[in-house]
């Protein structure tokens, strides 16, 4: 989790990721942020994020992202 | 149930307000004549004529408006005529224009220019079945554009018994035997829709009841008429048992000068052409109807006065081009105002 | 029968509402579907069959994918260890992707044929002409709304493929989702969960929904009839005869066209959303004060949002996570570093999106150019972002200072106006001619010297400016958290009714309608 938060802070450090729950819906994380983010988490956690995962629910909060990462690591 | 009552109450308030506003919507009371422009102008002005003073109503689209002019008819024959047509006129609208014009008038003759009898599109004309009776009965909707008069320069268009002077010349350089050729615009219609016939029958019925004689005529216009089309109108007139006059057959007799008399290369007549055609129509009316010459009758004195103003305007407007008519006329109106101010000062 | 006509608003819509309310709840969806097909027939007559066939096909493809999924689950139950399970899943996933491809290809194939075949043939013929060969031109009838319902259908199939929701078993529900009558002409492009349940459930018509729908429709009609329809006359004249006008008029025409397009498109979307509201259906929003955007990217998140979202969900994201882009991005990161890999990846993911956005509007080089124009601007935005931040830090400027915001908004306006100039020019060449005449032949005074009073009189200009200012103020207040619509709907009955009546009479008084006015067609219905 700490690793994920670090990646996120690297993209934009003005957001409180532990509290924010509408990263996508409020456009805090824009499309280009997502591009960077996906590259980073795939490398760090050694997972494959495929198109089916690209939903706002999976990226709206750090918590949701962490859940997704864990799920993908299990598979 | 409570909700339905609410809904009905709301609609009721809406309709009541619409009626109240409609009663208040009397443009001629609120505004100077010059402020009422465009489509509303003729519609309003014809109702302002003194009661029972109009002999001839001329109905049709822009072709009719540039072909007939009440001032020259007065000069030549002493008959009183008024243009009640409108640009791009449709049958439904024309029916209500007649009803409106006849509110205070009892004309003897209704001239109908034939071109607009062809005009038809299913969508628009179906909508007009609904909208035109509403516009006729609800002045608030009919005159809703009148607020524009408050911010606009008055009198850009000056109307004389429904005629506006236009002396712009753009010669027609096509062949003289245009009646034998095909029309330039291949999409023109040669038949009359059942809906247009229905409206015509309503017009006919109204005229019969009120003793108005209908004469259909075709204006001189190489752009819009050829023999095939004129034959179609003649056939229509026979079927409906109405008199028909094709002016295109009298081009030489009327003395049309193709270099000088048209405003847009053979589509519409300018004032020079209109004057000649009106003279011809006047003679035709004299021979074929029992209209009375009112010249010298003190009740019609204002027609003489208006004719003087009209002739002055014809002189002033000479050389003003149509393309730039708004700007040019604005300049002209400024001059006119200055002249008025000076003459006041002299007095 | 377009949705802004009297016939629709005063006859069709009330009758459908009445019929809807009178039939038993279980049959209400049938009323909506019948009404939708009736409206469709009034535009495109027998092409309604194509819409029906598309609905059936979409429904079937989605079911098919679910069926394969069910088979997969059965097989997985037999497996013991996890590895075997994922092997099985992979196998079945291959089958499912084939079905998805079939579905998408067929639908996009029809869309392509209808929209672009003649354009492609024309341009191919230029090359084939050298060889003496020639592709025949097709005489295509345009099925109304095909650009909108095709995207909805493709999105639905893709979502089912990604297992975001199960395939719908009821054919009628899918058919109604794709053809719901307010949406069929101009969108917005909805996703299945957005509207399908509400459409199908047959909720009774409620008083507060009628109020909300009414207000929305009047608001939309006012935008269209008071502002947009007036501007049409002016923009048509200048765009059709651009050589007769000085550069100052071209600038004015570009601005006028942008306002016209916004008022007319967002206005008709208001009518769409209002119509849906009458039946208790919440259709997704399509605009969100686009002119307060501070960058081109933000503008596209606020303008025609349903199209932008569609491309984001079904093209941009799949592109960003596609093996092609991912592999490239990994390599690039090692070779060129983080910054360039990010710019490169963005370019690769953005390019198809903007080609598609451009040509979605129609066949023609100008639309392609329009797409590329935004591609370049957005990519520059991405590439310059770090530079900008540094500059702000260096100069000690607060990036959120109000004056800077205003400046950014104005900059975005210029970008938008320029884009719409090319968008509405007859051809790309004419677009460039008009664009360059701004610089070569500019006389600000010609605006009042040669103002076309016959097209737009002083009164019309007052109505346009007044109307635009009101729309701007209401948008500005909403942007700052004061939603006028909410306030009106929650006011006391007398206050609410007064506003309702005032709006109606303002529309009747200031709207451009009546004999002699041609009702103006909807722009986006042509796409």
CA distance A54 to chain C (A): 6
A58 touches chain C (CB under 8 A): no
Q: Are strands B109-113 and B56-59 parallel, antiparallel or unpaired?
A: parallel
- Number of domain units in chain C: 3
Is residue C353 in a domain? yes
CA distance C310 to chain B (A): 35
Q: Are residues C196 and C260 in the same domain?
A: no
Q: Cβ separation of B148 and C516 shorter than 8 Å?
A: no
Q: Where are the alpha helices (DSSP H) in C323-401?
A: 323-336, 338-360, 365-395
Question: Can you tell me whether residue C369 is helix, strand or coil?
Answer: helix
Chosen domain end from C380, C406, C424:
C424
Among residues B276, B234, B229, the alpha carbon closest in space to that of B257 is found at: B276
Q: In the CATH scheme, what is the code of domain B35-346? A: 3.40.50.1110
Closest-CA residue of B relative to C496 is B10
The structure tokens 């109405």 sit at B242
Work out the angle at residue C194's Cα, subtended by the Cα atoms of residues C490 and C31, and round it to the nearest 5 degrees: 85
Q: Cβ separation of C318 and A51 shorter than 8 Å?
A: yes
Reading chain B (347 residues) residue by residue, the pLDDT tens digits are 678 888 899 999 999 999 998 888 877 777 666 667 677 888 888 988 899 999 999 999 989 999 999 999 999 999 999 999 988 889 999 999 999 999 999 999 999 999 999 988 887 888 888 889 999 999 888 888 888 877 776 656 778 899 988 887 888 888 888 898 888 777 788 999 999 999 999 999 999 999 999 999 999 999 899 999 999 999 999 999 999 999 999 999 999 999 989 888 888 998 999 999 999 999 999 999 999 999 989 989 889 988 988 888 888 777 665 445 555 556 666 666 666 666 666 65
Min mean pLDDT across A51-60, C175-184, C202-211 is at A51-60
C22 touches chain B (CB under 8 A): no
Q: What secondary structure letter does DSSP report for B297? A: -
- Number of domain units in chain A: 1
- Identify which of C452, C501, C509 has the shortest CB distance to residue B14: C501
pLDDT of residue B319: 63
Alpha-carbon distance of B88 to C472, in angstroms, equals: 36
Closest-CA residue of A relative to C385 is A32
Q: Cβ separation of A38 and C86 shorter than 8 Å?
A: no
Q: Are residues C382 and C328 in the same domain?
A: yes
Domain with C40, as residue range(s), is 6-204
- Identify which of A32, A42, A53 has the shortest CB distance to residue C346: A32
Q: Are residues C211 and C199 in the same domain?
A: no
Min mean pLDDT across B183-197, C146-160, C231-245, C332-346 is at C332-346
Is residue C29 in a domain? yes
Domain ranges of chain B: 35-346
Domain with A55, as residue range(s), is 2-74
Closest-CA residue of A relative to C90 is A75
Is residue C268 in a domain? yes
Q: Are residues C67 and C162 in the same domain?
A: yes
Q: Cβ separation of C341 and A39 shorter than 8 Å?
A: yes
Q: Are residues C397 and C342 in the same domain?
A: yes
Q: Where are the alpha helices (DSSP H) in C132-228?
A: 146-161, 171-179, 192-201, 207-222
Please write the tens of the pLDDT for every residue from C296-350: 888 998 999 999 989 988 998 888 888 888 888 878 878 887 788 888 888 888 8
Q: Which two tokens stand for residue C4?
A: 């802004």
CATH number at residue A61: 1.10.1200.10
Q: Are residues C93 and C233 in the same domain?
A: no
The structure tokens 């079904």 sit at C314
Closest-CA residue of C relative to B40 is C515
Q: Are residues C419 and C454 in the same domain?
A: no
Torsion of CA B160, B163, B169, B171, to 10 degrees: -150
Q: Is the dihedral of CA B6, B8, B11, B12 positive or negative?
A: negative
Count of alpha carbons within 13 Å of B176, Cβ hemisphere only?
9
CA distance C181 to chain B (A): 19
| B13 Cβ neighbours under 8 A, 6+ residues apart | C497, C501
């Amino acid at each position: 989790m700490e690793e994920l938060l670090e990646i996120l802070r690297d993209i934009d450090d003005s957001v409180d990721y532990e509290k924010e729950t509408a990263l996508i819906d409020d456009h805090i994380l824009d499309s280009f942020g997502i591009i960077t983010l996906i590259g980073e988490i795939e490398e760090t956690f050694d997972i494959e994020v495929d198109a089916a995962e690209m939903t706002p629910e999976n990226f709206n909060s750090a918590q949701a992202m962490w859940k997704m990462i864990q799920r993908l690591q299990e598979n | 149930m409570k909700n339905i009552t609410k809904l009905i109450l709301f609609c009721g308030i809406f309709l009541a307000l619409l009626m109240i506003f409609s009663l208040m919507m009397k443009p001629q009371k609120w505004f100077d004549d010059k402020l009422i422009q465009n489509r509303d102008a003729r519609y309003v002005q014809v109702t302002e004529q003194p009661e029972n003073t109009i002999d001839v109503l001329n109905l049709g689209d822009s072709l009719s408006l540039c072909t007939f002019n009440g001032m020259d008819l007065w000069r030549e024959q002493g008959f009183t005529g008024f243009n009640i047509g409108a640009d791009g006129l449709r049958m439904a609208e024309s029916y209500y224009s007649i009803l409106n014009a006849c509110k205070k008038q009892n004309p003897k003759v209704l001239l109908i220019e034939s071109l607009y009898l062809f005009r038809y599109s299913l969508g628009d004309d179906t909508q007009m079945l609904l909208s035109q009776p509403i516009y006729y009965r609800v002045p608030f909707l009919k005159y809703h554009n009148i607020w524009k008069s408050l911010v606009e320069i008055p009198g850009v268009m000056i109307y004389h018994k429904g005629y506006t002077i236009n002396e712009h010349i753009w010669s027609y350089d096509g062949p003289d035997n245009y009646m034998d050729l095909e029309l330039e615009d291949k999409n023109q219609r040669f038949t009359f829709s059942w809906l247009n016939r229905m409206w015509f029958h309503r017009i006919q019925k109204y005229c019969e009841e009120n003793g108005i004689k209908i004469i259909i005529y075709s204006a001189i216009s190489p752009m819009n008429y050829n023999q095939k089309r004129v034959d179609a109108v003649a056939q229509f007139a026979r079927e409906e048992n109405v008199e028909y006059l094709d002016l295109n057959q009298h081009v030489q007799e009327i003395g049309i000068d193709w270099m000088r008399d048209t405003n847009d290369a053979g589509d519409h007549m300018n004032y020079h052409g209109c004057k000649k055609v009106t003279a011809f129509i006047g003679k035709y009316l004299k021979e074929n109807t029992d209209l009375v010459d009112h010249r010298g009758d003190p009740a019609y004195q204002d027609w003489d006065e208006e004719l003087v103003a009209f002739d002055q305007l014809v002189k002033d407007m000479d050389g003003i081009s149509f393309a730039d008519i708004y700007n040019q006329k604005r300049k002209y109106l400024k001059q006119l105002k200055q002249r008025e101010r000076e003459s006041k000062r002299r007095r | 029968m377009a949705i802004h006509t009297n016939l629709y608003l005063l006859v069709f819509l009330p009758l459908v509402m009445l019929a809807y309310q009178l039939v038993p709840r279980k049959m209400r969806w049938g009323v909506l579907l019948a009404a939708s097909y009736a409206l469709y027939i009034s535009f495109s007559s027998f092409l309604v069959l194509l819409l029906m066939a598309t609905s059936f096909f979409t429904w079937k493809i989605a079911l098919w994918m679910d069926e394969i999924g069910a088979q997969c689950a059965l097989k997985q139950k037999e497996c013991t260890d996890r590895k075997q399970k994922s092997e099985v899943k992979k196998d079945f996933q291959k089958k499912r992707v084939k079905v998805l491809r079939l579905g998408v290809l067929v639908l996009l194939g029809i869309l392509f044929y209808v929209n672009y075949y003649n354009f492609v043939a024309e341009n191919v013929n230029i090359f084939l002409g050298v060889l003496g060969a020639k592709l025949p031109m097709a005489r295509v009838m345009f099925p109304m709304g095909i650009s909108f319902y095709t995207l909805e259908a493709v999105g639905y199939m893709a979502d089912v493929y990604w297992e975001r929701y199960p395939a719908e078993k009821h054919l009628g529900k899918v058919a109604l989702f794709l053809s719901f009558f307010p949406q069929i002409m101009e969108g917005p492009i909805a996703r299945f969960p957005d509207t399908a349940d509400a459409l199908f459930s047959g909720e009774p018509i409620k008083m507060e929904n009628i109020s909300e729908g009414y207000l929305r429709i009047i608001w939309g009609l006012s935008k269209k009839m008071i502002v947009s329809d007036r501007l049409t006359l002016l923009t048509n004249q200048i765009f059709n005869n651009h050589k007769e006008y000085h550069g100052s008029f071209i600038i004015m025409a570009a601005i006028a066209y942008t306002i016209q397009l916004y008022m007319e498109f967002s206005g008709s979307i208001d009518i769409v959303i209002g119509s849906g509201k009458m039946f208790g259906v919440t259709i997704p929003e399509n605009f969100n004060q686009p002119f307060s955007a501070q960058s081109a990217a933000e503008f596209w998140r606020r303008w025609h949002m349903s199209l932008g979202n569609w491309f984001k969900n079904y093209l941009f994201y799949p592109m960003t996570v596609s093996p092609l882009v991912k592999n490239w991005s990994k390599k690039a990161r090692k070779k060129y570093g983080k910054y360039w890999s990010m710019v490169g990846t963005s370019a690769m993911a953005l390019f198809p999106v903007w080609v598609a956005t451009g040509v979605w509007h129609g066949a023609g080089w100008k639309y392609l150019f329009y797409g590329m124009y935004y591609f370049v601007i957005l990519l520059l935005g991405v590439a310059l972002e770090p530079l900008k931040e540094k500059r702000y830090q260096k100069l000690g400027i607060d990036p959120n200072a109000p004056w800077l915001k205003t400046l950014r908004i104005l900059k975005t306006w210029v970008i938008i106006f320029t884009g719409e100039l090319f968008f509405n020019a007859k051809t790309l060449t004419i677009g460039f001619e008009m664009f360059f005449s701004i610089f070569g032949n500019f006389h600000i005074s010609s605006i009042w010297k040669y103002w076309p009073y016959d097209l737009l009189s002083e009164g019309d200009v007052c109505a346009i400016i007044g109307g635009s200012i009101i729309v701007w103020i209401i948008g500005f207040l909403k942007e700052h958290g004061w939603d006028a619509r909410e306030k009106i709907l929650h006011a006391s009955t007398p206050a609410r009714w007064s506003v309702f009546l005032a709006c109606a009479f303002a529309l009747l008084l200031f709207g451009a309608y009546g004999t002699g006015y041609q009702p103006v067609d909807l722009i986006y219905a042509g796409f």
